[in-house]
Copies of this chain bind each other. A is one copy, B any other.
Amino acid sequence: MSDIHSQHLSQSIQRIQLLLNRKELIEAWLHSQNQQPKHALVESLTHRQHLAELKRLINRLHPADTALLLESIPPEHRPLIWHLVDEDKAGAVLLELSDSVKQPLISASDTNVLTAAAQHLESDEIADLVQDLPEDVAPDLLCSLSSDERDQVRSAMSFPEDCVGAWMEFDIPVVRDDISLDVVLRFFRRQGSLPDNSGQIMVIDDYGHLKGTLALEDLLTHSGDLPIADVLDSKPITFHTNSSAEDAARSFERYELIVAPVVNAHNKLVGVLRVTALMDLIAELAHKKLLLNAGLNKEENLFDPIITSAKNRWPWIALNLFIVFIASRIIDQFETVITHVVALAALLPITANIGGNAGNQVVALVIRGLATKQLNASNTLQLLRKELSISLMNGLIWGSVTALITYTLYSNFLLSCVMMLAMLSTMLFASFIGVAIPIALKRLGQDPALGSSVIITGTTDTLGFLIFLGLAAVIL
């Protein structure tokens, strides 16, 4: 990445890692941690200088970068870095960390440190953080907030992760709908600040109902004596607190939104959605599909404890084992024909394997089509027809190739025919379930990506063998 910022960034990261690699520094610090008083952090002067430099470097980083640094260094170095992060940045850093890195740091910190860190966050951020805090810290933290903030935190916490309510923010500029632009300008001048990336000012009536939004651009460019009602956008795209967050993210993408009002069931303005929050969601969702597709249904982080990660994969190994043993039983039924033509054992994996990959290609297309909503009830059949024709074509072409190779290897004409036919029918079958499985999963209210590659590979194997050996039994 060749932009200016990231050049500086990589320089300081390098320097930090250089300092961290001085074993004795870490040891001295850990040592000093165990003995009171804390302020005698380390004995030697050089150590103190290095720590000072480390602290300076770390706190020059953007919280997101500090988080990334913590993620990518070995666990034993993390407490030191975490200890050196300034109070006003600590909260922001915690929010960026993955659970596996966050939890140890939280449990290692004292209550007052965590409470202080949270002080510097917005209500919606505190709501995210509170869920990770130990039982005894959360109440103290909530008490330390203003009653307004406390209500906001509570309301944010009351919504499930996949609802807009859980992603909305509360620090929004609001004005009444019965004033002029000049009054709005004077109001904000007096107030002296606007939240970053406000983008739009929310306009409400006396009862707090949303009347529309006023873009800062319009506020700036229209003459000040105009009443706000003449300038505002009275039909902005608006979300309910219980709207699906994923759909909201897609709307932001499609309609190029920066900020949108969130209203409750009574059309009262309760918060805003910002693109900055939803970008994370979009990336998350996309990566989730990649993991789901491979059969990792629980969110797994790179450096989760081994036992957690191992267990995380059990359900799919189990399912996989179950399916493949069915396949194995099928082969077992054809014992006689295999003993008759041992070459069959060698050729067995070919059609199933090709079918599996063909199926996975279709699945990937379908998953994307469903995510982008390009694929829907009205055109599913059209897609199925298309995929079947592709398989017919590729099955014929690559079936003949396979048959040819088989013939050169075993110079057995009938065997080549078996390969040809098995290849063709397996590919047709693969593209059929490649379309069917993600759509079925969606109908069942599951994510279409959920374990689909595992299921595809399993089923294509099973039926691939059945088709191949069945044909062999008949033809040979």
Contacts and interface: CB of A to CB of B under 8 A. Distances in A.
A324 interface: yes
Contacts of A247: 1, 3, 6
A433 to B, nearest CB: 14
Contacts of A185: 220
A238 interface: yes
A429 interface: no
A11 interface: no
Contact of A361 (B5, B295, B369): B295
A185 B368 CA distance: 45
Contacts of A316: 357, 361
Nearest to A96: B254
A294 B364 contact: yes
A290 B368 contact: yes
A68 B250 CA distance: 13
Nearest to A386: B306
A402 B240 CA distance: 50
> For the complex formed by this chain, how many copies does it contain in all?
2
A127 interface: no
A357 B454 contact: yes
A2 interface: yes
A143 interface: no
A144 interface: no
Given A220-B189, A453-B360, A3 B393 contact: no
Given A290-B368, A327-B349, A253 B280 contact: yes
A393 B252 contact: no
A379 B349 contact: no
Interface stretch (A36-44, A113-121, A133-141, A336-344): A336-344
A295 B281 CA distance: 26
Interface residues of A, number: 142
A357 B98 contact: no
A348 interface: yes
A329 B74 CA distance: 44
Nearest to A17: B378
A194 interface: yes
Interface stretch (A82-90, A195-203, A439-447): A195-203
B243 A364 contact: no
Nearest to A389: B306
A467 interface: no
A209 interface: no
A383 interface: yes
B254 A62 contact: yes
Contact of A194 (B217, B383, B457): B217
Nearest to A267: B4
A365 B300 contact: yes
A475 interface: no
Interface in A362-410: 363-365, 367-369, 371-376, 378-379, 382-383, 386, 389-390, 393-394, 398, 401-402, 405, 409
B327 A290 contact: no
A105 interface: no
B345 A244 contact: no
B345 A379 contact: no
Contacts of A458: 353
7 contacts: A193-B221, A275-B279, A302-B365, A320-B354, A327-B353, A329-B346, A349-B352
Given A216-B220, A303-B383, A317-B394, 15 more contacts: A1-B251, A64-B254, A71-B374, A72-B379, A73-B379, A194-B220, A197-B256, A198-B217, A257-B276, A282-B283, A295-B360, A303-B382, A321-B401, A348-B349, A357-B453
